[in-house]
Structure 1
Amino acid sequence: MSGWLTEAVPRGRVAAFRTLVYLFVAADLVVFTPWVRTRVAVPGELYQPLLIGRLLPLPPPTPALVGVIFWALLLLALLAATGRAPRLLGFAVFALYLEWMIIAMSYGKVDHDRFGLLVALAALPTAGRARHGDPTRTEAGGWALRVTQIAVICTYFLAAWAKLRFGGLDWATGSVLAKAIIRRGTELADLIAQVPHLLIVAQFGILAFELLSPVVFVLPERWRLAAVGFFYSFHLVTIATITISFAPHLVAMTSFLPLERVRPVVWARRLLGRRPDAPGRNHDDATPAAPLTGPEPVVGPATP
């Protein structure tokens, strides 16, 4: 079991995952959850801290506190994305983002799509230094990715467990998706809803998919990647039909992918090296142009 938990992975994969996660944290502050800064304007009695907020205990949010967390987290997340000081910056980002989430989720609604991302933020600082493109393998990095994968799959499995615990089979046979389509459905969802019994079949399919999601860990690598591709397609359909985004969860799920193969800096350099006007390059195949050794080509009608 310990060998599976710490299965070594290339350091380049850890570096790519780290950069992606920290860049998402920065984007999350300004794109997905900027509304957290406005929560302090509502009446104070509406703030009901989560259990972790009561156990620590954390101070109630104020405009000054939330503003400091926002700017400090934005700056530190961008710095952490560079891979420098992975432990110091990593733990600082985790602590600040955890507080950001506690404030966000202490007003009556808790989103479960943040679980995998929070686990990734907690585990990444323990992976140590990692450089993009480095093929050497690391068990510490493997552990950080593995616990993130476990959190991702727990998000699915425990969601199914909650459905069965509170709704039973009535969740699958009821009108859950129909209500979601009425509230926030798209034109595509309206077309799907017209097919008889399709929504009921879809609800059974969602339950089966979530309950069987742990099987991904016992699949061969090729089939595991195919299963993860199915997970992403499921969320693509969810966004296209009922406009529910699981962006933090989707970022955490990249822990399953061979991210070391994605090297945008190298690709950009190669692309720039293949520009038609690059010196010493042939316009057709981006190989060095051969020097002219023969006579100049004839222009116009040839003469004997």
Structure 2
Amino acid sequence: MSWLTEAVPRGRVAAFRTLIYLFVAADLVIFTPWVRTRVSVPGDLYQPLLIGRLLPLPTPTETLVTVIFWALLLLALLAATGRAPRVLGWAVCALYLEWMIIAMSYGKVDHDRFGLLVALAVLPTAGRARHGDTTRTEAGGWALRVTQIAVICTYFLAAFAKLRFGGLDWLTGSVLARAIIRRGTDLADLIAQVPHLLIVAQFGIVAFELLSPVVFLLPPRWRLAMVGFFYSFHAVTIATITISFAPHLAAMTSFLPLERVRPLVWARRLIGRGPSEAATDVPPTDADTVPPGQDTVGARAERALDDQAPVVGRPVGP
């Protein structure tokens, strides 16, 4: 249990919370605005996921989807400030879950949003946290750890699904070749010309997904290196077959020391540094630039003024 609730700085929780809620707002307008087009699809084609059948949830209408969109956008931006973390957090979690149920109830379910949904579910339990706060919190540590587990489960269960439905033929088949034909880039076309490279890549993908839980056994420095490898894998995926896994990448920042990234503090320092540096940026005088052993009229005049001026802290007069 100590591993599951390992304390982390509150500043890390605050940074992760801000990032996740800002991503939710961006997701509505950049990655999943197409959900709003679902209202033009006949209601008979709406086949809700199991959770949508258990609750049960209504068939999406134009009014319902519009209300969810604007309410979620506003609440996510408010939640990103860190205020009322429980009330706003639970509200964002519920609305985004409904947004995803609407999105995924027409025949296609994306697995890259599992970690993000878990993050939204556990962040309200982390309590208050301020940027830059170095005090540690076990509640925040639990929220980050559960998100990390969800991220790694996404990898491990993806490999399990490949082997479950595709068997060993998935490893030696033409999965990547088909993906390149459908949505490949020029870089992917170059890679596809290398004999047997795509087969080797398929073996590598399954191997790294099955071994992904090893990240929890590594020391902190090596853990960050492995997480960096995860990000590089997705960078190659984007560059070759244009699949971003953006929600998954946002949830994976739960592994990173986000408390060290403080853009507002950096901006304030830059703003505050400008006038001070300008005030101290005085052109050098003759006394400052004269080589040792030489003297100038300007230097002698400055020394004479210094000799006549009272010294701060020393009594003047008898």
Scaled by the length of structure 1, the TM-score of the pair is: 0.93
Q: Determine whether 1:193 maps to 2:189.
A: no
CA distance in 2, matches of 1:68, 1:84: 22
Hey, what does 1:53 align to over in structure 2? Answer: 52
Q: List aligned pairs for 1:74-153, cutoff 5 A.
A: 74-153=73-152
CA distance in 2, matches of 1:42, 1:267: 48
CA distance in 2, matches of 1:15, 1:110: 30
CA distance in 2, matches of 1:295, 1:171: 78
Q: CA deviation at 1:43?
A: 1.4
Q: CA deviation at 1:271?
A: 1.8
Q: CA deviation at 1:182?
A: 0.1
AA aligned opposite 1:44: G
CA distance in 1, matches of 2:31, 2:247: 10
CA distance in 2, matches of 1:257, 1:136: 17
Q: CA deviation at 1:272?
A: 1.9
AA aligned opposite 1:254: T
The alignment of Structure 1 onto Structure 2 pairs a total of residues equal to 293
Hey, what does 2:269 align to over in structure 1? Answer: 270
Higher gyration radius (CA): 2
- The 3 A distance-change label for structure 1 pair 123 and 295 is same
AA aligned opposite 2:277: R
In the alignment, structure 1 segments of 5+ residues that lack a partner are: none
Q: Determine whether 1:23 maps to 2:19.
A: no
CA distance in 2, matches of 1:49, 1:296: 78
- The 3 A distance-change label for structure 1 pair 303 and 93 is closer
Q: Can you list the C-alpha shifts for 1:238-259, whole angstroms capped at 9, x where unaligned? A: 0000001100000000000000
AA aligned opposite 2:49: L
Q: Can you list the C-alpha shifts for 1:255-286, whole angstroms capped at 9, x where unaligned? A: 000000000001111222333xx2x425xxxx
Q: RMSD between aligned alpha carbons?
A: 2.0
AA aligned opposite 1:98: L
AA aligned opposite 1:281: E
Q: Secondary structure at the match of 1:4?
A: coil
Q: Can you list the C-alpha shifts for 1:164-209, whole angstroms capped at 9, x where unaligned? A: 0011110010000000000000000000000000000000000000
AA aligned opposite 2:75: L
Hey, what does 2:277 align to over in structure 1? Answer: 281
CA distance in 2, matches of 1:192, 1:281: 51
AA aligned opposite 1:73: L
CA distance in 2, matches of 1:292, 1:194: 64
CA distance in 1, matches of 2:132, 2:288: 46
CA distance in 1, matches of 2:289, 2:124: 64
Q: CA deviation at 1:290?
A: 6.6
In the alignment, structure 2 segments of 5+ residues that lack a partner are: 291-295, 299-318
Q: CA deviation at 1:288?
A: 3.6
Q: CA deviation at 1:291?
A: 9.8
CA distance in 2, matches of 1:293, 1:240: 56
- The 3 A distance-change label for structure 1 pair 297 and 261 is closer
Hey, what does 2:210 align to over in structure 1? Answer: 211
Q: Can you list the C-alpha shifts for 1:84-119, whole angstroms capped at 9, x where unaligned? A: 000000000000000000000000000000000000
AA aligned opposite 1:262: V
Q: Secondary structure at the match of 1:5?
A: coil
Q: Secondary structure at the match of 1:109?
A: coil
AA aligned opposite 1:194: Q
Q: CA deviation at 1:297?
A: 9.4
CA distance in 2, matches of 1:296, 1:135: 44
